[in-house]
Structure 1
Amino acid sequence: MASTATVTAASVVEQLDKSSDVLTWLNTVLNVPGDATSNDLPLVVHASTLDALQTATSIAAQSTSATLEHIIDDIARAAPRLAYDIHFTRDGALALRNVLAQSLPPLQSRSSGRTTTDAAESDATSKILERLQHLDTLRVRMEAARDVLREAESWSALETEVTTLLAEKAYARAACRLSASARLMPVSAARTATTPSTSSGGVHEPRRALLTSLANQLEAALSPDLVRAVTACDVESCKSFYAIFVDIEREGEFRNYYYGTRRSSIVEIWSKAVIEGESGSSDSSDRENPQSLSAFYPSFLSSFLTMLSGERTALPNIFPDPERTHAALIYTTLSVLTPSPAQRLAALFHNGSSATALKDVVKLFQASEEFARGAERILEKLRASAPPLLTASSSSSPSEGKPSRRRSVRMSMSWRSMSNMGRLGGGGIGTTGTTGSGSDEGAEWDQCLFQPFLDFQVDFGSLERRLLDETLGSPLPGNIRNLDGDRAARAMRERAVDVFSAAEESIERSLVFTHGYGSVGLVRALDTFISTFVETWTNSISSLVGTDPRSMPGSGSKPTSAALEDEELADLDYTSQDWAHIQKALHLLAAGRAVKDRLGMFETRLMASLRQVSTAFRMAWGNGGSGVYTPGITKGQGLLLAQSSLNALELRALLTRVAPSTRPGPSLLPSAHTALTAFARANQRGLQRVLLSPLYAHLAIYPTLPLWIAARVQDAVPGMAGVIVPTFSLSPSDVAHRVGDGLLNLPRLFEVYAEDDALGFELESLAGPDGSDMVTGTVTGAGTATVMGTAMGSGEADERRQGQVPHSPEVVTAAWLASLGRATVAHLTRDVLPQIKTLSGAGAAQLSADLGYLETIVRALGVEMGDLERWKACVGMTDEEGRAMLASDEGSDRIGQLVARMRKWVV
């Protein structure tokens, strides 16, 4: 065969029979002689030849399958008669032997005395047998010629006969005639293939084309009546038409006609709907009154479900597999909607805000689930009403039995063969060969319904965060500088109510929209959302506490707090603005405590929801390990979620972490708790700066006092000239005395406020986790945790740190006094004392006396000395001791170097 020759199925079979192996045949077909000139053939020729061979081989394989099936049927029918035929042949052979025996005796009697008796008998017998064989061969060939002539006559009259039947609208008889001819095609091909003078490909290809053409004519003639019958819900006519289409092996086309007609009204509702935000030509007044997708989609699904409910009684009377047909009707209808549901859902986010769009998508999703439940109920009724045999295997009807089952498979093969030769009517979505073909697109109807929502479910975390931000808007009511403490705190509490209400809605939205698969995104969105809310207030507070307390704007009016009305506190060196800021900080701390209480309750609610999801998921993981969690939803919807990126290791880790049997771990919302701690620190920093502002004001002039450069002067004593009078302990300077008095007055102040729970809010944030990061930036000493640990047992302290038990007033007072004492010491040793330029002997003695006085006071507040003690030790050294200290390793520290510079111990 040349490389560009026409390849037919018959020629392929013939050449394969003659070839020793497949490789030799392929080389022969491709005209590859094996010499150097074989490379001159262009590749496109080989590709074209291979395509033709592939097509021809496929057709030959299908024809062979059909022929083999016919042979199996013939053998099955002829097997019972085989014994009878053998017996009949044996009787005929015996009869023939008797006839021969009667004709041979005269010859034997005549030649009894002759010498050539044996040779004559053998010659006569041979001639008789040869004559009989000739006659039998003639008979067989004449019968074959008769069959061929009859077949040719039948095929020549086929077109006329079928055309006449179509004109008479005898569609069933025409279908029966075409079906009979199609069944004879494989037998005819096998018969003619044994005749060398007949080209099977040249004879049967036109016949196949004729069958296809006549089938197309029959389908074209039937289609108008079929459409009218389906439209009019004429079940009996549809049933008869279905039988005709099955007879000509075009069940798929019948389903296409049926699906297309039944869904036409639903598709029209969808395509003609005028949706807000969609662009398109307008040819009616409806365009002027568009409706939202959230209003249209549920009504559309309701109409769709009504149509499907009506089909429940019709389908069992038409199709042998009503359940699968019903599912395929849903699938094909959803697949042909234009614009697609996914496009219309996406348009919601392009034409509106994310907040409104996600809420609308969730509503549409719920409507889809309601539709799915209704459709599932219809399918269950169809399944329950189906006959037992049909339920077990939809490949045959209950009355057909085993021969019909074989015929169903044969029809499927023939249908696939005819589909490759061009049939009338393109196959659409849901097209199937026959009932027993095995295709089951309708089983994915629920996946087709929920597939448009999958992308939004996967992105639920980010979409939910955007919704929360847009719903809440700005977390601040305005510039809180213009609000007094009570109004600012009230505004924060009121805003917190909105925040946690929105967060509660998020939990419900996640369960409804993702059925727990979006838990990871939900937790992240909520954590970020709540922490952002708190951080915004923290940033506003931080912008106030970063300024000088004496210059921070106040309320402009005299506060009416109980602290000012108490005469015991009237002598405290605080201005009206200071009292206003103290009140504001306390109110905001109280508001922060209220937010933390709400956060704790909300986290408990979130944990309970996640535990329910975890329990359901773990049951699914345990039953076979598939992890498909479908509580009250269809199987296809559950598979979509289980096969999406939502079902990741992070989800499994989260649900394992919140399982009821798991020991509670870290908080679900760590960023929110961290933000509250930062908020508390910002307020504590502001409150601390206000409380210490009088002390800092006194210490501001401390480095420039003339005391540090004064010389030691002894007054003359009458009558005792030249006698040195010993010097007694010096009194603290006025500045040190005022600072000490201010520190001593702090306990009186906290006696008033210690009962306020606000001071106990995030008390641990007064010092960092390592005890060296105070709210003011530095600390010397053991930290607040030491004070708290001293006032209570370690187990009780741990419980209080977790917020389970409120702190006692004593613990609150001790922690704050210690914190303020450390802040004062840190400010004095870090910022004030290094500014002293020169210390005389008398100045050093005075400074040592001041530091000793302050040391006694701060030690009473529960503060360890640290740098303060080192300053006192260095200042109190004599010149000789100081120089000796510098000469040793002890003098290399920062404080020793500073004192040496002040005392001029080094040049």
Structure 2
Amino acid sequence: MTEDIISSVENHDDLVAWLNDVIAVDKVSTQQLGEIDTLISSLLTTLEVACEDTSAQLERIIDSTSRAVPRLVYDLHSMRDNAVALQSTLPSLQNQSKASTSEETAAILAELRTLNLVKRNMEAAREVLGEAESWNSLEFEVTSFLAERSYVRAAERLSEASKSMAVFQNTPEYDSRRTLMINLQNQLEASLSSALISAISSHELAVCKEYYHIFSNIQREVEFRNYYHGARRTEIVGLWQTANLLESGESSASRTMSSFLPEFYDSFLSLLETERLSIPQVFPDPPSTLSQFITSTMSNLQPNVAHRLSSTLSYHGAAGLQELVACFKATEHFVSRVENLFEKISFSSNPWSPLESPPSLGGPVSPGPTPTHSRRRSLRMSISWRSGGHRASLSGLNVLKGKQDVILDDLDWDQELFQPFLPFQVDYGSLEKRFLQDALQRLLVVGQHNSQAPKMDQSRLLREKMVDAVQVADACLTRSGSLTYGYGSVGLVQALDFFFSSFMASWTKQVELEPATVLTGTVGSSSGQDLLDLDYTARDWADFQHSVHLLESSRAVLERLSAFEGRLRTTLIRFSAQFRAARQDSSSTVTSSRRLDQLFEQSVLNSIDLQTLFDAVDPDSREHGGATSNKPSGVDPITPLLVEALEGVHKFAKSCQKSVQKTLLSPLRNHLSAYASLAAWTSNDDKGSRQGASGQYDLQVPTFSLSPTDTIQRVADGLLNLPRLLEVYGEDNALAFSLHTLPSLDPQILASLGAHVDGVSTERALPGHLRRPSLAYKPASHPSLDPELVASAWLSSLSHSIVTHLTSEVLPSIPSLSPHGAGQLSSDLSYISNIASAMAVNHESLEKWKQFTALADAEGRKTWAERDSGATDPIFGEIARKRGWTVG
């Protein structure tokens, strides 16, 4: 038992794997472990003694060599001196020889040379005549052999005749003899074809081997392989053609391509297992022949694999991507099993050993890659010996591994299996985008657009749907690695960015377009009870709380999006590390197969955009010679990947903020709705002057400032109540989220909130003079902000918004202004301007309206007359038209 365990080391490539296998509890007892330990100790001692003996012997060899080298130099000098002496002696010997030879002897020798030349020419002519005579009887002899079914002799005769074809090169008879040779070879092949197919089908290997030599002798080895491959693949090709698949449009079909393909590969592998034992008994190059068999079988499938994959995508639609991944993984598994099969077949050093050695039939063997294999094998074995010689004492695996590598490197059988998938892998980005778009439609079809659902449930539904969306996106990371091994990372990021941005866009549209829904029941808000003196209805409070809850949900959405982006970044870094390892170590591969690596490397997926993406997420990629490593500024390693998705979250937050703002400002807007149509704007009741009936006498009396209208008074009271409202909700985390998207927010207020607001740089929201280099993107950390700052930001935004509404929509709607109306408007604007200033709101348009409405008629007309028409202020022009200054 112990000896069997020790001998099992020969069956393992890795010593650690062997030890783990040996010391398994269910295989070796404690007593056996002791025996193994003793035996290993003995072996180690023996090994140490052998090492010492080898070292001593090596020292003796070096010593003897060092003593022999000086002697060798002396012998070389002696040989050189002797050669120089011989060189000086030879001319004198030649002269003596010529002097001793008489003229009669020279004439005889010249005649002998002539006779010898004639003899050689006559023998050559005899051989040519013999070859010509043999060609005259070639057709008769071969036909007779075929009639007698002496196929071996016919092949030998054709092989002999083939050798003499060179004699007739560049002669008129060459074409006719070549045609005769081809016709006779065709006759021999036709005579053998039926018997050959029968022998192949019945698996008579000895007969097949004999036929192989016959075909080799007549230079028809390729045709023999075609016969063999065609007969042996009939069953597996028939299995493929008769497959009843759903994707083929068969009404009675019950299974898909992804379920059929593993069964097909299992049957194909069983056939290859049989051929692994049969091919070495027929062919001299088993690995190459088996590779050709796989290639010819896959290329003869009808419809081909690419067509069925395309049908799969067409039938399943967006879900076809999952089917494609399943088919690809089944193919990879099949390739892995076939590689093991090639390892077994490549270990045979003499593939002809199962039968007797091939007879010497005198015919040339079909030229193949054998010489190249032999040359490369010697080189590979020498490299293996130098790099791994210290393991040679364990087994002969190194030598076999070297032979195996050189064979597998030259075979391209797996390319025929992987090539059909490459167009779909190149198009992975669009396929993934299509899949995610379909998943998004199914994700949003339930709940979101249900008008019967209470509004308060929408915030909870958003959180739930975001969980589902992230789950769908997580599956993309696995799918991308399975189908493209990171080569499709650019398309992956783009598809995910589109998916999340579309997801948020649908919710943003929901907030912007759907009308408010009144909640059933009363609002149980203590804050609502505390602020009953404000002009808000129950519906306003319901809408306000609904918008706040949605805003809080957007914070949760951003947290989940940031967590997913972290996982995406980790996946891309892992891909980048694999690519970097493959660049640094030629024995390392990115994919499961070196041939698949080559296909990806030669495709458009291996682009500069891919390397740029890896450089952006992986600093080690730039340090080890990435495509963009020579850029002086570099790429920020924390630059967001899902940019559009991040923007989508904040657009949704902005829509929620607008909804909150619309609710809070709705009473003020209602007050201003009839402001433009007040009768005061056209009233001529001017208490500041007294005029006679004829208008000839004007009496100017002192006047006091007019009181603001009731409308402006109520608007101002509403603005003054906003701080009290915001104090109640200022501590709500929802209002502190995404403050940089608040409408009309003062940049100075935003700058005071801090450099980062919820993971988004404030740089985009600030003017150029307030931007700082430190305001870079950071993952969402949701810092706790001072409630007073949050209330200040909202108050600034609300005040700006209502003042903007007043100056851009309400005031331009006033049809005309009398002098009294202008005075009243000036008083209103002065009052509201004071309120806005108290809230730290400086509104340029409001100040202009206040300034221009305060002008007296004479001053206004003069200013209008002296104006520069090319640079007239639009607000002044609006007021001039309302005051009638533009007339006359």
Q: Judge same fold: TM > 0.5, yes or no.
A: yes
CA shift in 2, pair 1:260/1:705, >3 Å: closer
Q: Which amino acid aligns with 1:752?
A: V
Instruction: Give 1:530's match in structure 2, choosing from 482, 500, 504.
Output: 500
CA contact under 8 A between 2:152 and 2:214: conserved in structure 1? yes
CA contact under 8 A between 1:484 and 1:584: conserved in structure 2? no
CA contact under 8 A between 1:764 and 1:784: conserved in structure 2? no
1:664 aligns with 2:637: yes
SS in 2 for 1:759: coil
Deviation at 1:152, TM superposition (A): 5.8
CA contact under 8 A between 2:528 and 2:541: conserved in structure 1? no
CA contact under 8 A between 2:318 and 2:435: conserved in structure 1? yes
CA distance in 2, matches of 1:145, 1:766: 107
1:220 aligns with 2:190: yes
1:519 aligns with 2:489: yes
CA distance in 2, matches of 1:137, 1:870: 124
CA distance in 2, matches of 1:575, 1:499: 36
CA distance in 2, matches of 1:749, 1:404: 107
Instruction: Give 1:733's match in structure 2, choosing from 709, 725, 729.
Output: 709
CA distance in 2, matches of 1:163, 1:558: 107
CA shift in 2, pair 1:151/1:896, >3 Å: closer
Q: Deviations over 1:93-134 (max 9, x none)?
A: xxxx99x99xxxxxxxxxxxxxxxxxxxxxxx99xx99x999
1:343 aligns with 2:320: no
Correspondence list, 1:832-871, <5 A? 832-836=810-814, 846-871=824-849
Deviation at 1:370, TM superposition (A): 1.0
Q: Which amino acid aligns with 2:490?
A: V
Q: Which amino acid aligns with 2:666?
A: S
Q: Which amino acid aligns with 1:828?
A: L
CA shift in 2, pair 1:323/1:405, >3 Å: farther
CA distance in 2, matches of 1:355, 1:513: 16
CA distance in 2, matches of 1:227, 1:298: 29
TM-score, normalising length: structure 1: 0.68
Percent identity for Structure 1 against Structure 2: 40
Deviation at 1:251, TM superposition (A): 1.8
Q: Tell me the residue number matched to 1:172.
A: 152
Correspondence list, 1:607-686, <5 A? 607-621=569-583, 630-661=589-620, 662-664=635-637, 666-686=639-659
Q: Tell me the residue number matched to 1:13.
A: none
CA contact under 8 A between 2:496 and 2:642: conserved in structure 1? yes
Q: Deviations over 1:63-86 (max 9, x none)?
A: xxxxxxxxxxxxxxxxxxxxxxxx
CA shift in 2, pair 1:181/1:700, >3 Å: closer
Q: Deviations over 1:743-782 (max 9, x none)?
A: 1211222223223222223221114xxxxxx3xxxxxxxx
TM-score, normalising length: structure 2: 0.70
Q: Tell me the residue number matched to 2:24.
A: none
1:749 aligns with 2:725: yes
CA contact under 8 A between 2:880 and 2:886: conserved in structure 1? yes
Deviation at 1:849, TM superposition (A): 4.2
CA contact under 8 A between 2:518 and 2:539: conserved in structure 1? yes
Deviation at 1:318, TM superposition (A): 2.8
SS in 1 for 2:172: helix
Deviation at 1:738, TM superposition (A): 1.5
Q: Tell me the residue number matched to 1:587.
A: 549
Correspondence list, 1:421-440, <5 A? none
CA distance in 2, matches of 1:670, 1:839: 50
Instruction: Give 2:268's match in structure 1, choosing from 304, 308, 328.
Output: 304
RMSD between aligned residues: 4.4
Q: Tell me the residue number matched to 1:273.
A: 243
Q: Tell me the residue number matched to 2:672.
A: 699
Instruction: Give 1:503's match in structure 2, choosing from 466, 473, 484.
Output: 473
Deviation at 1:304, TM superposition (A): 0.9
CA distance in 1, matches of 2:455, 2:659: 13
Q: Tell me the residue number matched to 2:386.
A: none
CA contact under 8 A between 1:231 and 1:261: conserved in structure 2? yes
CA shift in 2, pair 1:151/1:531, >3 Å: closer
SS in 1 for 2:244: coil
1:484 aligns with 2:454: yes
CA contact under 8 A between 1:323 and 1:379: conserved in structure 2? yes
CA shift in 2, pair 1:405/1:754, >3 Å: farther
Q: Deviations over 1:861-901 (max 9, x none)?
A: 23114232333344445556656655666995344445555
Deviation at 1:674, TM superposition (A): 2.4
Deviation at 1:562, TM superposition (A): 1.2
CA contact under 8 A between 2:448 and 2:461: conserved in structure 1? no
1:446 aligns with 2:422: no
Instruction: Give 1:358's match in structure 2, choosing from 321, 334, 341.
Output: 321
Instruction: Give 1:469's match in structure 2, choosing from 434, 437, 440.
Output: 437
Q: Which amino acid aligns with 2:231?
A: T
CA shift in 2, pair 1:744/1:216, >3 Å: same
Q: Deviations over 1:556-580 (max 9, x none)?
A: 53442415653x2111111122122
CA shift in 2, pair 1:657/1:139, >3 Å: closer
1:380 aligns with 2:338: no
Q: Deviations over 1:187-246 (max 9, x none)?
A: x548xx9xxxxxx534x5554444434433433343344334433444333333323322
CA contact under 8 A between 1:481 and 1:553: conserved in structure 2? no
CA shift in 2, pair 1:731/1:232, >3 Å: same
Q: Tell me the residue number matched to 1:9.
A: none
1:600 aligns with 2:573: no
Deviation at 1:843, TM superposition (A): 5.3
Correspondence list, 1:400-439, <5 A? none
CA shift in 2, pair 1:609/1:875, >3 Å: same
CA shift in 2, pair 1:833/1:291, >3 Å: closer
CA contact under 8 A between 1:365 and 1:513: conserved in structure 2? yes
CA distance in 1, matches of 2:651, 2:757: 25
CA shift in 2, pair 1:218/1:441, >3 Å: farther
Correspondence list, 1:69-468, <5 A? 151=131, 154-155=134-135, 157-166=137-146, 169-186=149-166, 188-189=167-168, 201-202=172-173, 205=175, 207-278=177-248, 288-350=252-314, 352-386=315-349, 443-468=411-436
CA contact under 8 A between 1:472 and 1:498: conserved in structure 2? no
CA contact under 8 A between 1:814 and 1:862: conserved in structure 2? no
Q: Tell me the residue number matched to 1:574.
A: 536
CA shift in 2, pair 1:632/1:877, >3 Å: closer
CA contact under 8 A between 1:325 and 1:442: conserved in structure 2? no
1:766 aligns with 2:742: yes
Q: Which runs of 5+ in 2 are unaligned?
A: 1-100, 370-405, 621-634, 690-698, 763-774
CA distance in 1, matches of 2:873, 2:187: 108
SS in 2 for 1:668: coil
Q: Which amino acid aligns with 1:370?
A: H
What count of residue pairs does the alignment treat as equivalent?
Answer: 705
CA distance in 1, matches of 2:436, 2:830: 58
Deviation at 1:605, TM superposition (A): 1.8
Query: Of the two, which has the highest radius of gyration?
Result: 1
CA distance in 2, matches of 1:338, 1:667: 47
Q: Deviations over 1:264-318 (max 9, x none)?
A: 22112112222224368xxxxxx84553222211111121122212322333333
Correspondence list, 1:7-26, <5 A? none
CA distance in 2, matches of 1:712, 1:632: 90
CA shift in 2, pair 1:593/1:139, >3 Å: closer
Q: Which amino acid aligns with 1:276?
A: L
Q: Which runs of 5+ in 1 are unaligned?
A: 1-96, 102-124, 194-199, 281-286, 413-437, 545-551, 716-722, 768-773, 775-782
CA shift in 2, pair 1:648/1:505, >3 Å: same
CA distance in 2, matches of 1:134, 1:632: 73
Instruction: Give 1:821's match in structure 2, choosing from 786, 796, 799.
Output: 799
CA distance in 2, matches of 1:563, 1:852: 36
CA contact under 8 A between 2:746 and 2:796: conserved in structure 1? yes
CA distance in 1, matches of 2:716, 2:328: 70
